[in-house]
Structure 1
Amino acid sequence: MGGGPVESKDVRQFSFSDLATGWSFRQSDSKGAAWLPVQKIPSTVQQDLMDQGIVKDPFFNFNELEAGWVGTESWVYRTQFNAPALDNQSKTVLVFEGLDTFAVVRLDGKVVLRSDNMYISHRVDITNFVKLTARHELEIEFDSALFKARQIQNSHADHKWTCFNGEPARLAVRKAQYHWGWDWGPLLNCAGIWKPIRLEVYTARIAELRTDVVVSCDQKSATLKVSAEIEDNHNDELRVEFKISFKGRTVSENSCPVLAQSGAFTHMRIDSPSLWMPAGYGTQDLYDVQATLFSQEKELHSESCRIGLREIQLIQENDSHGKSFYLRINGIDIFCGGSCWIPADSFLTNITPERYRAWIELMVPANQKMIRVWGGGIYEHDSFYSACDELGILVWQDFMFACGNYPCFSTFLDSVHQEAMQNVRRLRHHPSVVIFAGNNEDYQVAESAGLTYDYADKDPEHWLKTDFPARYIYEALLPDIIRKECPEIPYHPGSPWGDGKKTSDPTVGDLHQWDIWHGSQEKYQIFDSLGGRFNSEFGMQAFPHLETVKSFIQDEKDLYPQSRVMDFHNKADGHERRLATYLAENVRTATELEAYIHLTQLIQCEALTYGYRGWRKQWGEGRRCGGALVWQLNDCWPAISWSICDYYLRRKPAYYAMARCLAPVAVGARREHFDWSVAHAREPRYLEWQVWAVSSRLEAVIVDVEVRFWSVQTGREIKDRIVRRGVELTPNGTTDVARGVIDNENEVPHVLAVKMWMDGAVVARDMDWPQPLKYLHFPNRNVEVEVRGKEMHVRTERPVKCLVFEERMGYSLSDSAMDLAPNDEQVVHVTGWQQEDEPLRWTYLGAGEQ
């Protein structure tokens, strides 16, 4: 053979362009009708129709009803684009990150893609198209998911279609299930291009970048297996350069050849690693991993991700309470106090990265450690998880199945497998993602419907033949993907689920505790006694603030608590009865709207306090409770719901109550519960009380604790205070501080006011009140709120229950929903305050009583 020089090849570098502009749309069957412009892509049909003035804002008044027709129609979108210049080795790919949901894609009139899963992305090679002509038309037609779902349901009549919320046909469709309406959200069945579309040109690319992290037992080093999956369109020798950087400094790098079948991979070591920790337990340091693909010396493509170095353990061990369920991160046991998350908008494309960040930022000052991405929404946007990474919020990630008996016909399973694979690969590098769960409440549906679930049967093929075939998804398909794709992240078959026992079993797994509000509607004062090993759902409804109510009510005559439009914006079954029950049992009811709002917020505040305060106490009692996640952090529209912050990110009083219960060092006080309704308002002679302290600090701290006893009516002390000095708090645990007895015959109704100091500064307060609050009288509290610069100094002459400040947009308060003891001044810091601003309005329980 000749020995002449090898001819070099011009290899094209990866390039892409977003197809975000120039789109128009119309109904599919409206031939001859004008095409309407689309303001932005991604979007939804409903939003595009609102932009054109064809549909009124469904969040306002009763407009949701008028917008329902949109989900029953088919819609078509189109745009044009110019073909990129190609060489002989290059290929052109259209990438569809997400189409909602039944979509037929045509390029120059030819079908190039059919999609029926909202959660799946698609790559379509269009090289042959772009070589033919210079300009192309792209058209996407969306069928009604509502009608398609019903067709699929009818074609599988042998399956038992049963569910909570929405209609059973939704189970047939891989689409955000809350679009069918839920007990906190509207029925707005969306369609459209809900994620970006782009045009890629390349000869080779990095199709997948993976990092598997192992932290050494002594935490002095970390080993990373870094791999790159390569898509290659030519035969040149390729190599990948891997680089790991920390705060702009390279800490490890390596170069590897691309092997034909396995891509490129290497092991990289980091000495003295900076570990990623949850907020409050350390820093959230992140490492940048970059993989760059080369052909000879020419760079073709580069991919990168940010990772955290951490070890996750889900501790499930037999103990005196049953079987534990809690997380250990880098060797530290974490009490996972936090919230459940639903999609933050009915129209997903309206949630910006900045809004995602604002939501997660709310959690940090509230001392929350975990957010649970609920299974009836979506695998969230990358910016959601990035915010959690950067702010130290742990993510419990459900797979997208909720409240139903899902089918398992072959095409459905194939689609679910692809969906799970893609999304696990997308999320696995985020250090915040610490547990995957198979579904939300599907095992509860199986129980309620009497479906077959034989835990002793371990043959997955048998499961597919039962009337509960989705067990195959949760206990075979999904865990297999987790084992292969991210074995370091724990997997849990469902929420709730506990080793095959009933989902209401409090001794194992996680628990959804809805016997308060739903179910038997127990008194919220016993919340802690109803919990399990991990309470992943519980809650109490409350109205949002008045400004939010006014945002969705058109006519002032409807501004009263039981107006039709008010009920329309509360989707929970029987909410009238439940709200009325908890109000009537605990407080003197009101009819004036602003007072009524305050009362519902007070009830929510009290209920969550009893839950979080008691369950966190149990954390230090042999890890009896591993975490508590309130239902829910947020809303998808302006509504009355269980959220602790409303659609506009306005904090409800319960937000502040949670922050106090979950503080790094907190104190708790409570008297023994006595059911006044069963006893017909007769008081027991004696009630025991106790005071304790909890600490998430990893070292012992010394505190002083004071307990005082104040008459509710007069504000005078009824007996000597109790002082405990030099109390050493158990690290990451609970410490008993004081106990006593209330003599109801000889002592007037009084509060137990507890205050705790550390290093001379007050670090925690708590106040226990006689129950129910409706029996108490609150004359002449003499509350004063003095504004000093950006501080509000609050004091009172008599005990005050739940002093709540106005939540004004642009402001942020350090505290609210405060209980006040006589002569104990508290200071609220106000961010956003301007000197010329009007003082914030405020109220408290019994504010109008004389």
Structure 2
Amino acid sequence: MAKLAEYSLSTGWSFKDGEDKSPGAWMPVPVVPSVIHQDLQANGKLKDPYVGFNELDARWVNEKSWIYRKVIQKPTVPAGSAIVLAFDGLDTFATVKLDDKVILESNNMFQAHRVEVTAGLEKEGEHILEIDFDCAMIRARELRKQDSKHNWASFNGDPARMSVRKAQYHWGWDWGPVLMTAGIWRGVRLEVYHARVADLWTVTDLDSNHQFARISAFAEVDAVHLDSSYKLNFTLSLRGKEIARETATLESKVAKVTFDIDQPHLWWPHGYGEPDLYEISASLETDQGELHNFVKKIGIRTAEVIQQPDKHGKSFFFRINGVDIFCGGSCWIPADNLLPSISPERYRKWIELMVAGRQAMVRVWGGGCYEDDSFYQACDDLGVLVWQDFMFGCGNYPTWPELLESIKKEAIYNVRRLRHHPSIVLYAGNNEDYQVQEQAGLTYDYEDKNPENWLKTDFPARYIYEKLLPSVVGSLSPKTFYHPGSPWGDGKKTSDPTVGDMHQWNVWHGTQEKYQIFDTLGGRFNSEFGMEAFPHLSTIDYFVENEKDKYPQSHVLDFHNKADGHERRIATYLVENLRTATDLETYIYLTQVVQAETMMFGYRGWRRQWGDERHCGGALLWQLNDCWPTISWAIVDYFLRPKPAFYAVARVLKRVALGVRREHHDWSVTHAQPLKTSKYELWVASALQKEIFGKVELRFLSVDTGLEIHERIVHEDVRIVPNGTTNIIVDGVIDHAAHAEPHVLAARLWLDGEIVARDVDWPQPFKYLDLSDRGLEVKKVSETADKQVFQINTRKPVKCLVFEERDDIRLSDSAMDIVPGDEQTVTITGLQPEERLKYKFLGQ
């Protein structure tokens, strides 16, 4: 018997417009996986849709059908072998023909397919493989018309999108273009084998003191004929060294062995320990040799979502290996509209940025896709927790029997594919579909527990989220927490701050509250919140072709901001807080200052609440990334260029962070009437698991002169509680009669004689402050071939010192507040000795 052989079908394809019958219609495909927009661009038939208004010129592609074709040769087939054509992903309505015979019809982008073609490739010589991709946009509209009784309530995009199992953001979103892709979007190959390992998975039991683990390993075999001579050799390795081996004979399609491990190496989120991974392999063998070897990496850990009554309502936080973890992080959208263009290296760079930004969790949002294996592997390798939505977003989805069957297959395939990843700690049924239910007034009787009744209401999608999906997760990954939706909390309103998770959009959207009070608006777990900011000028240079369009409100810039009412909202937050500008570079910077401040106020306050009986269990900002070069809520733009907010969040999420804040005085309500007194607070937030002692200092520095206007406050030997909040000053009072000039509160924390954390609280709003003539000095103090260290001092307080972002460099810090008498350093890696970076600060 021969070993399994794989033949990639990545090259030699051609494609054409499905309606073009001319002999010269066929065009070459450089490589698959690909989607139609990539292939049209490669043939000079389409301009880059990410530049200027080219998205509009690409709209014709959205309403077309396409045909892909490849000539294949019959591979070498040992006697008794099967030939399988394997597709890892077809986007979306695909009819596959082999020598004009239909062998597969697919209508779900999120499924993989395996078709046996042994008989079809029986003849030697050439065979024609052809795939017709029907137009998803037209098919969706047809399907919607067929169900006129359904309430197609939704946010974003064409409501018809809900009838099709395709990435929903392809219909356009409030941060992305309308680009209806089609094509072989994941790998395709021929497999020849007598038998193979079709799946390998584990179930791990870890004892409460983490000293012993039992791993049950399962392997499923796919064979032409299941032979009693087959055996499976399972091996378990750690860091390249084999630590255990077990053998099982095949009595059915599934074989099982058990590994007992003393003193197991646990998988931890970064910052809490090493994200150790074991490697498990299942080798399918006969007396004649190995037929197939299947390998996966797994982690040993426990992951719980703790929901228990407390004084704030009902908790919602994550406990990993018995340790409560504040999950500061981000929401993730697909990193490109043209998904095959995202390489494993690019995925890894995104997750490396999260680690650099001290973010513990990423939420894979439900309007995109179940991500590539390399995304989750990067999260496993680097210790980033994953909150995984199922692919339903912002709508009331229909539930035809055939659609439910397709959704079930989709869920089974993806949970089987992903269940070995230790990074995945939660599956959520959807994104904001319960909010759509509330806003559209759809029926939802939480007390009715009969799933068949749900299908008869005008909110039938409840059946998907509360019956179908939890059944799949419970069957295939029973130790992974399932959450019906995001936001969701025990059937209460999605805006209820006492239970579950919430999307807090009353800053930016909704009532457009002041960002300075963000922390008062949160709930038990804040899984969405955000503030827009422009990307860096280098990114704008990419998509704005003409110099005359490089001003803040140009048509092309507005076109690249898909958020409804963005002009008013950006203007509101700018004019309330800052002195506005008309030149583009300064305007970009000002929007970034607002975003950085907004994220800081939210994260800082919510992290403090972690120490109050886990009042807030985590905060996932909207959003980490972009799918094209644009203006959005992303804190890192399409080209992986961090905005200032990235650094502001990283500081708040330090293992030990310091916070100082005066009470918010809303000038717009009091009409600039001065305060007589104001209260302030000072605290330390620690994620360490042990008690530590430190020194905390608070200074009061004039904005105008940089001099101390009040005696500094110093606390020696402060006992800092583990994994919580230590309140140092809760009732401080500033007497403005005695100290009338505007001043900052500048706090520092020392541990073992070293400054480990800072925070600076400024008088708000910034527009009332004179921030000229700061006396800032940025001085190079050392350099190597690719690294420079700069020393930063100032005579007067400086707000939001931002260094220029370049693709080939990394900054140890940016978006910094600098105060007199507190020298700071920044290390810039990748910068050559002769190179210089520009920087800017507020009022420069």
Q: TM-score, normalised by structure 1?
A: 0.97
Q: 1:557-576 maps to which residues of 2 (within 5 A)?
A: 557-576=548-567
Distance 1:218 1:809 in 2: 45
Q: What's 2:823 paired with?
A: 825
- In the aligned structure 2, how far is the partner of 1:584 from the partner of 1:85? 71
Aligned to 2:4: 14
Counterpart mapping for 1:673-688 below 5 A: 673-688=664-679
Shift of 1:779: 2.8
Cross-structure match for 2:124? 133
Alignment of 1:488-507 (within 5 A): 488-507=479-498
Q: Residue 252 of structure 1 corresponds to which residue in structure 2?
A: 244
Query: Who is 2:808 aligned against?
Result: 810
**How far is the alpha carbon of 1:235 from its aligned partner?**
4.3
Instruction: State the one-letter code of the partner of 1:410.
Output: P
Distance 2:452 2:423 in 1: 34
Aligned residue type for 2:440: A
What does residue 4 of structure 1 align with? none
TM-score, length-scaled by structure 2: 0.98
Give the whole-Å Cα distance in 2 for the aligned partners of 1:369 and 1:218: 23
Contact 2:380 2:421 in 1 (8 A): yes
- CA distance in structure 1 between the aligned counterparts of 2:18 and 2:574, rounded to whole angstroms: 50
- The residue that corresponds to 2:272 in the other structure is 281
Q: CA deviation at 1:808?
A: 1.6
1:413 aligned partner, one-letter code: L
Aligned to 1:769: 762
Retained in 2: the 8 A contact 1:437–1:491?
yes
Q: C-alpha separation between the residues in 1 aligned to 2:412 and 2:772? A: 63
Question: Given residue 31 of structure 1, which amino acid in structure 2 is its aligned partner?
Answer: K
Range moving further from structure 2, 571-580 or 246-255: 246-255
Equivalent residue of 2:708, what SS? coil
How big is the shift at 1:297? 4.4
Q: Aligned residue for 2:791?
A: 793
Aligned to 1:28: 18
Q: Which amino acid aligns with 2:271?
A: G
Check conservation: 2:74, 2:123, Cα contact below 8 A.
no
**Aligned mates of 1:767, 1:676 — CA distance in 2:** 20
For each residue in 1:377-416, what CA deviation from the matched residue of structure 2 results, as whole angstroms up to 9, or x when unmatched? 0000000000000100000000000000001000100000
Question: Is the Cα contact below 8 Å between 2:282 and 2:294 reproduced in 1?
Answer: yes
For the pair 1:578 / 2:566, whether they are aligned, the reply is no
Alignment partner, residue 450 of structure 1: 441
Aligned residue in 2 for 1:263: 254
Q: Tell me the equivalent position of 1:712.
A: 703
1:208 CA drift (Å) = 1.1
Structure-1 separation of matches of 2:544 and 2:79: 62
**Cα deviation 1:756-775 (Å, max 9, x = unaligned):** 11111110010001111111
Report if the CA contact (8 A) 1:236-1:295 is conserved: no
Partner of 2:284: 293
Residue pair 2:657, 2:684 contacting (<8 A) in 1 also: yes
Structure 1 residue ranges (4+ consecutive) displaced by more than 2 angstroms after TM superposition: 85-88, 295-298
Distance 1:88 1:387 in 2: 40
Counterpart of 2:681 in structure 1 is 690
Counterpart of 1:555? 546
- Quote the residue 1:841 is aligned against: 838
Deviation at 1:627, TM superposition (A): 0.3
Aligned CA RMSD, in angstroms, stands at 0.9
| Cα deviation, residue 777, structure 1 | 1.1
- Among residues 108, 111, 124, which one is paired with 1:117 in the alignment? 108
- Is contact 1:251–1:270 with CA below 8 Å preserved after alignment? no
- SS in structure 2 opposite 1:501? coil
- The one-letter amino acid paired with 2:763 is P
Distance in structure 1 (CA, Å) of the matches to 2:413 and 2:260: 28
- Give the equivalent residue in structure 2 for 1:509: 500
* Count of residues paired in the alignment: 835
1:624 aligned counterpart, secondary structure: coil
What is the CA–CA distance in structure 1 between the aligned matches of 2:543 and 2:790, rounded to whole Å?
Answer: 31
Matches of 1:266 and 1:599, distance apart in 2: 60
Does the aligned pair in 2 maintain the 1:549–1:638 contact within 8 Å? Answer: yes
Distance 1:144 1:730 in 2: 59
Q: For residue 587 of structure 1, report the CA deviation from its aligned partner.
A: 0.7
Q: Pairwise mapping of residues 473-622 of structure 1 onto structure 2 (< 5 A)?
A: 473-622=464-613
What secondary structure does 1:161 align onto?
Answer: coil
Separation (CA, whole Å) in 2 of partners of 1:140 and 1:572 = 36
> Do the aligned residues in 2 keep the contact of 1:753 with 1:765 (CA within 8 Å)?
yes
2:366 pairs with 352, 363, 375, which one? Answer: 375
Cα displacement string for residues 270-292 of structure 1 (whole angstroms, at most 9, x for unaligned residues):
11100000000001110000001
Distance 1:365 1:206 in 2: 38
Deviation at 1:213, TM superposition (A): 0.8
CA distance in structure 1 between the aligned counterparts of 2:727 and 2:153, rounded to whole angstroms: 48
Give the structure 2 partner of residue 7 of structure 1. Answer: none
The aligned amino acid for 1:303 is: F
Post-superposition shift, 1:296? 3.3
Q: Distance in 2 between matches of 1:251 and 1:323?
A: 43
- Does residue 67 of the first structure (1) align with residue 58 of the second (2)? yes
Contact 2:83 2:190 in 1 (8 A): yes
Q: Report the secondary structure of 1:100's partner residue.
A: coil
Query: Is contact 2:523-2:616 (8 Å) kept?
Result: yes
Structure 1's unaligned 5+ residue stretches are: 1-10
| Higher alpha-carbon deviation: 516-525 or 776-785 | 776-785
- Paired residue type of 1:18: S
After TM superposition, give the deviation of residue 737 of structure 1 in Å: 1.4
Instruction: Give me the whole-angstrom Cα distance separating, in 2, the residues matched to 1:87 and 1:383.
Output: 33
> Hey, what's the Cα distance between the residues in 2 that align with 1:464 and 1:272?
49
Question: 1:228 is matched with which residue?
Answer: 219
Q: Residue 3 of structure 1 corresponds to which residue in structure 2? A: none
- The answer as to 2:703 corresponding to 1:703 is no
Report if aligned partners of 1:26, 1:75 keep a CA contact under 8 Å in 2: yes
Counterpart Cα distance in 1 of 2:491 and 2:640: 38
CA drift at 1:236: 2.2
Counterpart secondary structure, 2:279? strand
Q: Deviations over 1:536-587 (max 9, x none)?
A: 0001000011111111101101100000000000000000000000001111
Structure 2 unaligned spans of 5+: none
Identity of counterpart residues, as a percentage?
A: 57
In structure 1, the residue corresponding to 2:709 is in which secondary structure?
coil
Q: CA deviation at 1:299?
A: 1.5
1:154 alignment partner, one of 135, 145, 148? 145
Distance in 2 (CA, whole Å) between partners of 1:672 and 1:582 is 19
Out of 348, 353, 368, the residue aligned to residue 344 of structure 2 is 353
State the shift of 1:191 in Å: 0.5
Give me the whole-angstrom Cα distance separating, in 1, the residues matched to 2:762 and 2:453. 55
